[in-house]
A and B are shown apart, each in its own frame.
Chain A
């Protein structure tokens, strides 16, 4: 006779451990007066270029460190360091996102309490980084004009977990069929509270306003 099938009640959310770790990390960062921003975007959206343009505007006022997460390369960290900001590279070894444990390891390695602001440049994709909380005070995302105005429909979770959206490569808008108003409407359908900046990291359009806004957010937490 076959064994009878039993049912075991599990009742566990698999993201719960990470969420708890993220919350503890966030509390520890706040206590050490360090603001963590988690920056997410697709490959090629202009994360590193936007970061460089932002650092050029806030670097005088805040002590900033950058944590670059990449599957297997250190080219981004080298660019940031060449521009005069301390950067460490985390190789995720095939992982497509950073979870709270990996972020904590990186923060410890860079001695994060020395900084007012640590920017985590997450792995380039719009899927996994949205699923895993990192302990950040601010989730920011970049969506560039060439990616298309349909992305909120394809990646609703990413648009729902971010508080600020940078629409990058605005200089491409006249060349493209990207419908800016429709795009914003789609974003607000998912996340009515999203703060949106229209920028071009290349020409500098809109970057001052974004940098001012970010500095105000950081000051709110670090005092």
Chain B
């Protein structure tokens, strides 16, 4: 159920661009999804199939690329990738600092779509 609002937003952006470009059918959608997201690829596709039924985007394949979580060190400005699901404390590999801000990793970005 958590996928629904996200997939609904994706579908409405896709249909908006489809209408503006005289698209007959949407074949594939290239998404960039941050590693912070808890949504699973297979479920995103299932919910997409359900919501897109009967429209231009029915049958479109979601090509999902995961975007790593990247932090910027507050002390030295260095950016580095972090695995947020293994529970280890991310330290800056340059200066050892433990204060950081998120640069990427929580996006749902629609890069492009393949259409007929």
Contact = CB atoms under 8 A, between A and B. Distances in A.
Interface of A: 2-15, 17, 94-97, 99, 125, 127-128, 131-132, 152-157, 160, 185-186, 188-190, 192-193
Given A5-B115, A5-B116, A14 B36 contact: no
Grouping DSSP codes into helix (H, G, I), strand (E, B) and loop, the A interface class, with mixed when no group exceeds half, is: mixed
A5 B114 contact: yes
B85 A153 contact: yes
B89 A125 contact: no
A7 B27 CA distance: 10
B112 interface: yes
A34 to B, nearest CB: 26
Nearest to A152: B87
A192 B108 contact: no
B2 A14 contact: no
A160 B104 CA distance: 12
Nearest to A5: B114
A190 B17 CA distance: 36
A125 B2 contact: yes
Contact of B85 (A8, A9, A11, A156): A156
B98 A192 contact: yes
A12 B23 contact: no
A207 B4 CA distance: 36
B56 interface: no
Contact of A3 (B5, B21, B24): B24
B76 interface: no
A185 B89 contact: yes
B90 interface: yes
Given A6-B21, A12-B109, A97-B5, 14 more contacts: A5-B27, A5-B114, A7-B114, A7-B115, A8-B23, A11-B109, A13-B108, A14-B10, A153-B86, A157-B38, A160-B36, A160-B84, A185-B87, A189-B90
